[in-house]
Structure 1
Amino acid sequence: MPNVLLFDVFGTLVDWRGSIAAELLPLLGRARAEAFADAWRAQYQPAMEEVRAGRLPFCKLDVLHRRNLDIVLKDFGLDHLDEAARRELNLAWHRLAAWPDVGAALQRLRRRFRLAPCSNGNISLMADLARLNGWHWDAITGAELARDYKPKAIVYLTAALAFDAAPEDALMVAAHSSDLAAARAAGLATAFIARPDEQGPGRGESRAVGPVDYEAQSLTELADMLGC
């Protein structure tokens, strides 16, 4: 049984698509706001790959999000937005709403386990999401601590080491099979949480692809499985 639970955040704990689209509704209307959220997110992995491949020095995700925002604003014909508006819009990632099951389930899990995010999001972003959604982390781990981005093994291993835990004593919890496959390859235990609507209705993962130690339809169900 693990003694540390590490969580992916974007998509697993928070509804990034719905939250980003909601921020853009006054500017774009629903259909274009959702398309903008998708386009912004589509820049996420390519931007991090620049860092993972060594073509860019490590920088916080806030910096990459802003770089990506400037690209998408131009693509959507919104290049006229001034600097203040761009800074505020970039902070939308600090204001993402949790999925309904998350708050109560984290409280249950914390009674038995130490909890931390293991996200590509920077520490200030993770702290702001915790304060907004009423979560209590025992630490904040992830990309900024490891100075690299998932799915590099160093991110998972640094998170476990922060708790003086062997990899097998840490459980990586995520809604993305690729994230869990990388964590498993690094020696961590893994738990899949279904988020079938993460990228829009029916456009998320409802089942794990590949082996995992636990598979649940919600964080509440995972808490049940772990005896919390």
Structure 2
Amino acid sequence: MSRTSQASLLGQHLTEVTEVTVTVDHIRGAEWSLNWADGPLDHEMRAHLDDALTHDRHADMRDQRLTLLRESTSRSWAARAIAAHREGALTTAIAEGADNRRLGVDLPRLDPPNPGETHEWFALLHHVQKLQRTTSYPERASAPEDESFIEALLGAAVLTDANGEPIPHNSERRMAHIMLALEQAPPPDQPLGPTAPSPAPARARAPEER
């Protein structure tokens, strides 16, 4: 069996084990990339990979250099944002992140490129991105009641043209506007939960992307 075929089988095996799509792509020489989105963290995928390489059907991949490349999706951003909001963690993260940004701590001290992209907006965006990077299977709802709100947030972030066709854009940045409006809105009559109004932004429409 060729090494390319073994790489394909390795990707299929890891897909079955992790329940996320995994591909093993050749770069050059003995270098390969192992690619997936969301799902397990790097060290978890490395453990799955090491276990898989003990099997003879993947023997020709043992002496190859495999670089792990984990990407993130809009789904995982929405899931982490909704969970953090429900748990009450976003308020503190926004306040601390915005203060640090103003002082130039941890993040570069930059003037917002437009009025909507405030220090608070950047703090929220980056906090949720950190949760994506550090959470195993970040795309999964942390609680059953989160699911409908995740879908509502993703839906509210979609931009369409005059014909109703989706417009490619950075939906995470738009979702950050939506979540910041939700965080800064007056307390609702009832907490975020299965019967609460949708958090997707009836309260405030996100500004258009530039």
TM-score range, shorter chain: 0.3 to 0.5
TM-score under structure 1 length normalisation: 0.30
Query: Bigger relative contact order, structure 1 or 2, given CA contacts below 8 A and separation 6+?
Result: 1
TM-score under structure 2 length normalisation: 0.32
Larger-Rg structure = 2
